[in-house]
Amino acid sequence: MFGNVIVGQSGGPTAVINASLAGVIKTARDRGAEKVYGMRHGIKGLLDHNYVDLSELADSDMEIDLLKRTPSSYLGSCRFKLPEISDDRETYEKIFKILDELNIKCFFYIGGNDSMDTIKKLSDYALIINSDIKFMGVPKTIDNDLAVTDHTPGYGSAAKFIASTMKEIIRDGLVYDYPTITIVEIMGRNAGWLTAAAALSKGEDCEGVDMLFLPEKVFDIDHFMSRVKEQAESGKSMVIAISEGIRVMDGRYVFELSDHVEFVDAFGHKQLAGSAKFLANKIGAELGIKTRAIELSTLQRCAAHMASRTDITEAYNVGGAAVKAAFDGESGKVVVIKRISDDPYMSITETHDVHQIANVEKKVPLEWITEDDFVTDDLIHYIRPLIQAELSPIMINGLPRHLNCDLR
């Protein structure tokens, strides 16, 4: 008799985070877990005894298949930072009491670099109290900013959505016989991986974006305005991709230069939104050109209808690999993806110490960004395999069918 396992999802959702959940629950059942519990709203929910028994779901191949194609976090999510162990042992005592009551042997947390902080602290505490519960991190984030892993599940699908949406925006943006400017704001916080995906729009059927601004380089507004002016004077319409995280020389985000409402989450991250609107207004006011600002916002996070099958497969595999590692006795680790070949693309999974991954932001290397703020072919070659192939949604009555969990 093995005992039970528990799994949670944390941070921003993705189109494939539920494929990882499917990988965890199916593999755990196949390997002998008696019950598989899901935390509703991550560790925050667990602290409120808010969990659900997923064992029946794990045993239904049809539901597992639907779960894999369901975007966003089936179990709900949280942005909750556990206290430092030295500051508040009570919280940890409470969590471990709940885990013991549920006879939990392995704990899986699907998330990005902030969520891995939870695995780090819980596995550290387990060592302190000599608990034999295993804690494993399962990687996810559309931002692709997790250290060590070649890339994160969730990124390939968001990149595929961004590149294809940019193609459609470019088609729309170039129709008039007078110059218009469309600025598209893309997520990714302080890393430009997602914005770089806009460069994939260029091909034999599409001229691609005209400018691309990643947060890894300081954003020079005067230089930007003069480039826009110069191009517009030649009568050319433009589509420009910017990261939500671009900053000016003094460190302020571009959206902070305008009136904005400040919201900061538990990890100290500001809500980043409004840079495209600010720049579009500035161009309109100063250059008199028709502009449009598009925030891709949450549309890019959960676009399961444009998901990458490569991404779904890898997301499922990292879930399964986490279970295998935990059942083999590993703890305090994160599953990472290692690219072993580009052509044909092939990857394997490994595990890595969570201490080197939690709270670390991996940015786009500067050598992959050109002098004129574009991206190099190396960066395009890095992204391209991750967006390959499709897995069609199950369509019912003209719309994709999703699996829904009661989160109340």
Catalytic residues: 143
Single out the residue of 7, 24, 122, 143 in contact with ligand F6P (rule: CB under 6 A). 143
Min. distance of Cβ 41 from ligand F6P in angstroms? 13
CB of 252 to ligand F6P, least distance (A): 16
- What one-character DSSP code corresponds to residue 378? H
**What are residue 379's phi and psi, to 5 degrees?**
-70, -40
Q: Which residue in the set 81, 134, 189, 247 belongs to the binding site for ligand F6P (CB under 6 A)?
A: 189
198 binds ligand F6P (CB under 6 A): no
Q: How far is CA 113 from CA 117, 147, 311, 359, in A?
A: 7, 8, 19, 5
Q: How far apart are CA 349 and CA 386, in angstroms?
A: 15
| Whole-number Cα distances in Å, 238 to 181, 195, 235, 373 | 5, 16, 10, 16
d(Cα 157, Cα 155) in Å, to the nearest integer? 6
- DSSP 8-state symbol, 34: S
Cα 46 versus chain centre, distance:
23
Contact positions with ligand F6P (CB under 6 A) in 227-266? 244, 265
Question: Of residues 95-134, which lie at the interface with ligand F6P (CB under 6 A)?
Answer: 112
Q: Distance between CA 301 and CA 362 in Å, rounded?
A: 19
Binding characters for ligand F6P, 68-87, by CB under 6 A (x = yes): -----------x--------
Q: Does 188 bind ligand F6P (CB under 6 A)?
A: yes
Residue pair 211/240 in contact by the 8 Å Cβ criterion: yes
- Residues 348-407 within binding reach of ligand F6P (CB under 6 A): none
Under rule CB under 6 A, residue 138 binds ligand F6P: no
Name the minimum Å distance from CB 13 to ligand F6P: 8
Q: Whole-number minimum distance, CB 158 to ligand F6P, in Å?
A: 9
Q: Say which residues have a Cβ less than 8 Å from residue 152's Cβ, sequence separation at least 6.
A: 112, 139, 140, 141, 142, 143, 144, 145, 146, 337
Residue range at the interface with ligand F6P (CB under 6 A); choices 94-102, 115-123, 138-146, 213-221:
138-146
Nearest CB to ligand F6P, comparing residues 89 and 270: 270
Does the protein bind ligand F6P through residue 272 (CB under 6 A)? Answer: yes
Least distance between ligand F6P and beta carbon 42 (Å): 12
DSSP code of residue 153: T
Asked if residue 208 binds ligand F6P (CB under 6 A), the reply is no
**Binds ligand F6P by CB under 6 A, chosen from 40, 134, 301, 402:** 301
Range in contact with ligand F6P (rule: CB under 6 A) among 29-37, 182-190, 311-319, 398-406: 182-190
Least distance (Å) from ligand F6P to the CB of residue 44? 13
Q: Which of 102, 187, 232, 239 binds ligand F6P (CB under 6 A)?
A: 187
Contact in structure between 238 and 289 (CB atoms under 8 Å): no
The H-assigned helical ranges of 61-185 are 61-68, 89-101, 115-128, 155-173
Check binding of 307 to ligand F6P (CB under 6 A).
no
If one asks whether residue 139 binds ligand F6P (CB under 6 A), the answer comes out as: no
Counts for the chain of helices (H) and strands (E), in that order: 12, 13
- In the complex with ligand F6P, which residue's Cβ is closer, 141 or 317? 141
Query: Which is closer to ligand F6P, CB of 45 or CB of 188?
Result: 188
- Minimum distance from CB of 71 to ligand F6P (Å)? 13
**How many residues make contact with ligand F6P (CB under 6 A)?**
15
Complex with ligand F6P: residue 134 or 301, whichever CB lies closer: 301
Cα separation, 2 vs 146, in Å, equals 32
Per CB under 6 A, does 141 bind ligand F6P?
yes
CB of 83 to ligand F6P, least distance (A): 20
- Tokens 């914005």, residue located: 195
C-beta separation of 108 from 53 below 8 A: no
Residue type, 375: V
Q: In the set 60, 226, 271, 359, which binds ligand F6P (CB under 6 A)?
A: 271
142 contributes a contact to ligand F6P by CB under 6 A? yes
DSSP calls for 229-295: HHHHHTT--EEEEEETT-B-TTS-BGGGGS-----B-TTSPBP---HHHHHHHHHHHHH--EEEEEE
Q: Which residues bind ligand F6P (CB under 6 A)?
A: 11-12, 79, 112, 141-143, 187-189, 244, 265, 271-272, 301
